[in-house]
Structure 1
Amino acid sequence: MTAGGRERWRRRAEGVVGELRERGVVAVAVTWVDTGGIVRVKTVPVQRFPHVAAWGIGASPVFDVFLADDSIVAGRYAGGPVGDLRLHPDPDRVVTLAAMPGWAWAPADRYDQDGGAHPHDARLLLRRLVAELAEEGWSVRAGFEVEWVLGRPAADDRFVPVTTAPAYGMARVVGLADYLRDVMAALGDSGVSVDQVHPEYSAGQFELSFAATDPVEAADTLVVARETVRAVSAAYDMRVSFAPKVVHDAVGNGGHVHLSLWRGGINAMSGGAGPFGLTEAGECFTGGVLGHLPALMAVGCSSVASYLRLEPSHWAGMFACWGRENREAAVRYVGGCPGERERAANVEVKCFDATANPYLMLAGVLAAGAAGLRDAVRLPAPVDIDPGALTPAQRAAAGIDALPGTLAEAVAAFEADAVLGKAFGAGLVDTIATVRRGEIAALAGLGPAEIIARTRWRY
């Protein structure tokens, strides 16, 4: 953050403040997502916004090693009471929060006091990787799907679903029509482009899908959307959980991401001579993501509870394979209908969930996809059946491996991955691994039901 950069951000923030005041905004929530996937915040009065855009808000770097239960660990590169960072809200991404009257939101980029980029800041990392792809002439469009469940308040913190109407059923929409209307209205008024909302499989479960956009904007949008859902749910006296597993014997919440690779306005996921019309570049990018998926689990499935969700034949994508419209494959190719394939074709990574820091997760995916482009990685044969229905011997013969079955296995794969190590840097790799091992230690010796109970309302 140079002196010129501070002045530019101050001027841009001044241009925003008048509009915010006209909309009745009193305060701005400035957020960042920590290594464990929790959205942390500091707030400022609206009149202070130009100053903090230029000079930042003080915040300890210790948040890099917070766990989901708010306990703190320490690694070689992060932890302890010493030091200070500055949270610089991005004035170009300010959103008036329709679900929280009087409030606006802005994502923070974290710098040190001298204006140097904080090496553990996930949003700055993602922005850098987007820029590196752009230097090669490529852009990526990303769009999230997010699932959540709604519960009634209960004294013992157990989950009591607000509705047991049928999965995907119109009865569930009818019963919660006012709530869902208010969710969609608040998202629209907050500038979030919603593709669809529908009831999901588990009791009280719903899903939102968002339009694809630039990866940094997509991650920002996910943060706004989840907090909007949380605010509307609270107004209806309902508890919301985005946790990967809310009830032991029920399907969990996913946090899938759709990706397409573009150059010069042309979608590389369609119109080529590769499998299902993938271009060579589209295949290589997808091959890079698939090849690094075991390591990416450490940033896409960030909690111990994540691995309770990854069960065979539950549409969770626990096998490292890909296929056209195969919802049991970790990577699903979505071709779209004739007439819109050039625009709509994409790949969906199905194994991730909402414990992920979306900036870290997308940074890892871009690094993996870029490596696939550089190394001309080819995809294995697509899988057109449920891999969970095969015997272990049949899967071995087909070259289909299960993804890591525990967070510890994912961390080991992450630390051994040279591509992610180079993209993230040694300090961030160590910090991520430290936080993941802290989560493992915090829940060590507990059975699935107790792990779920302890994490159910943290996300």
Structure 2
Amino acid sequence: MDSANLTARGVLAVAVTWVDNSGVTRVKAAPVGVLPNAVANGIGASPTFDRFVFDDSVTGGPIGDLRLKPDVSKLTVLAAQPGWAWAPAVRYDQDGNVHPGDSRGLLIRVADELAEQGVSARAAFEIEWCVSKGEGDEFVPACSGPAYGMIRLTELGGYLHDVLDALATQGIHVEQIHPEYAPGQYELSIAHQDPVTAADHLVLVRETIRAVSMNHGLRATFAPKVVAGGVGNGCHVHLSAWRDGENLMGGGNGTFGLTVDGASFIGGILNRLPALLALGAPSVPSYLRLVPSHWAGAFVAWGLENREAALRFIKAGSPNIEIKCFDGSANPYLAMAGLLAAGGAGIAEGASLPEPVDTDPATLAGSIPLPGHLGAAVEAFEAEPTLLATLGVELVDAITSVRNNEIRLLDGLTPEEIVTRSRWSY
């Protein structure tokens, strides 16, 4: 889309975004008239952003500069923010190479490497959020009806209509939307895409929901924990692996119709789940959500339609796995890159799957719990060769620095204090 076309549609500037290692979406904006230069030469952005913590404290120095280049193939005019468009970006160094700390560039590379194995992936996100009508930073649920109740749909029907309308205008295909369990909580699911587009769409959907909420005098949060002691926001990933147009998770002779490679893809992920939590459940409040018997998937287990297993296998329709232990503080590009790397390694090594679990793993002797705090997830991540090799030294160092600084920042605080500090960062 050229500048003249954007101007004719009333667009004055393009929000160019990337997601940092703390899971916060950061932005630089380019007026429409300079968009061609931004595409060609990039927008200046400090590499210090690789070491921003969720509260905007910084763990890195001020030296250096990167070039933020918008991907105009994904450029979208924003329906809920008149005068604005949006595009995701990849960050480059000044020699024109993809910055080794750029998560979107990483995901593009990992997806390409998987394709070299003859495998492609389809992915989608389920997005949960809570809506507040409170003043300032206070959280007051914007609806009062029962969990999953039609009352909640009626209470905020106009708001949800505007969310759906804005997303449809932006070309986002929503497959379902409903009230969720926690007070003021809703969920929507978007259609499967290639992994990069799926992550792009997650960023766009979140910011669209945020804008529509503000237009209604409400405030939205995607934080993994909104009220201490309550049910938090997950950000579940649906993922399938394909070869030659055939879904590897169906049509085979294995358990639930899995092919050999489909089972190995899932096995590679299951075996690395503790380490993957450093990417998919990457915040201190993540572990206030990730508790047994809350449908969060707190054990290293998989099972057919088992919502307490970390990996829920879905056989109906187009078979896929749902990764339930990931949440809304994750950088979707990092989380998706980690999953693809783990699944691809599983195929390469011929990983096997344990027996599926058909009950709550918390009730079974011998069930292996996932890490119970962020520090344990970071330790598992630092000991996982596949993820370390895939992400590279610079990105691994930045991720672990951010995680360890968040741990220190929130050390000794009560769950209520942790939630209060982090609720509006996501």
TM-score range relative to shorter protein: over 0.9
Residue 424 of structure 2 is matched in structure 1 by: 457
Question: Per the alignment, in what secondary structure is the counterpart of residue 402 of structure 1?
Answer: coil
Tell me which moved more, 365-374 or 244-253.
Answer: 244-253
Q: 2:15 aligns with which of 9, 17, 29?
A: 29
Per-residue deviation, 1:136: 1.6
Verify: 1:42 aligned to 2:42, yes or no: no
Gaps of at least 5 residues in structure 1 are: 1-14, 74-78
Taking the aligned partners of 2:417 and 2:194, their CA distance within structure 1 comes to 38
1:62-77 equivalence runs, <5 A: 62-73=48-59
Contact 1:313 1:389 in 2 (8 A): no
Moved over 6 A (4+): none
Residue 354 of structure 1 is matched in structure 2 by: 328
Aligned-partner residue type, residue 189 of structure 2: S
- Deviation track 1:62-98 (CA, whole Å, cap 9, x = no partner) reads 000000000011xxxxx21110000000111101110
Contact 2:134 2:141 in 1 (8 A): no
Residue 76 of structure 1 is matched in structure 2 by: none
Contact 1:16 1:91 in 2 (8 A): no
Residue 120 of structure 1 is matched in structure 2 by: 101
Residue 405 of structure 2 is matched in structure 1 by: 438
Per-residue deviation, 1:23: 1.6
Verify: 1:380 aligned to 2:354, yes or no: yes
Question: Per the alignment, in what secondary structure is the counterpart of residue 372 of structure 1?
Answer: helix
Residue 64 of structure 2 is matched in structure 1 by: 83
Residue 147 of structure 2 is matched in structure 1 by: 167
Taking the aligned partners of 1:219 and 1:349, their CA distance within structure 2 comes to 15
Aligned-partner residue type, residue 70 of structure 1: D
Residue 7 of structure 1 is matched in structure 2 by: none
Contact 2:288 2:415 in 1 (8 A): yes
Aligned-partner residue type, residue 137 of structure 1: G
Taking the aligned partners of 1:209 and 1:17, their CA distance within structure 2 comes to 32
Question: Per the alignment, in what secondary structure is the counterpart of residue 116 of structure 1?
Answer: coil
Taking the aligned partners of 2:396 and 2:153, their CA distance within structure 1 comes to 43
Aligned-partner residue type, residue 187 of structure 1: L
Question: Per the alignment, in what secondary structure is the counterpart of residue 101 of structure 1?
Answer: coil
How many positions carry a matched residue from both structures? 426
Residue 305 of structure 2 is matched in structure 1 by: 325
Question: Per the alignment, in what secondary structure is the counterpart of residue 160 of structure 1?
Answer: coil
Residue 308 of structure 1 is matched in structure 2 by: 288
Per-residue deviation, 1:265: 1.2
Contact 1:141 1:260 in 2 (8 A): yes
Gaps of at least 5 residues in structure 2 are: none
With structure 2 as the length reference, what TM-score do the two structures score? 0.99
Taking the aligned partners of 2:126 and 2:50, their CA distance within structure 1 comes to 26
- Deviation track 1:183-214 (CA, whole Å, cap 9, x = no partner) reads 00000111111111100001110001010110
Taking the aligned partners of 1:325 and 1:16, their CA distance within structure 2 comes to 46
Contact 2:240 2:321 in 1 (8 A): yes
Verify: 1:201 aligned to 2:181, yes or no: yes
Contact 1:290 1:331 in 2 (8 A): yes
Aligned-partner residue type, residue 264 of structure 1: D
Per-residue deviation, 1:133: 1.1
With structure 1 as the length reference, what TM-score do the two structures score? 0.92
Q: 2:38 aligns with which of 52, 57, 67?
A: 52
Per-residue deviation, 1:16: 3.0
1:118-267 equivalence runs, <5 A: 118-155=99-136, 157-267=137-247
Taking the aligned partners of 1:334 and 1:213, their CA distance within structure 2 comes to 17
Taking the aligned partners of 2:329 and 2:381, their CA distance within structure 1 comes to 17
Per-residue deviation, 1:158: 2.4
Per-residue deviation, 1:405: 0.5
Per-residue deviation, 1:332: 0.3
The percentage of counterpart residues that share the same residue type is 57
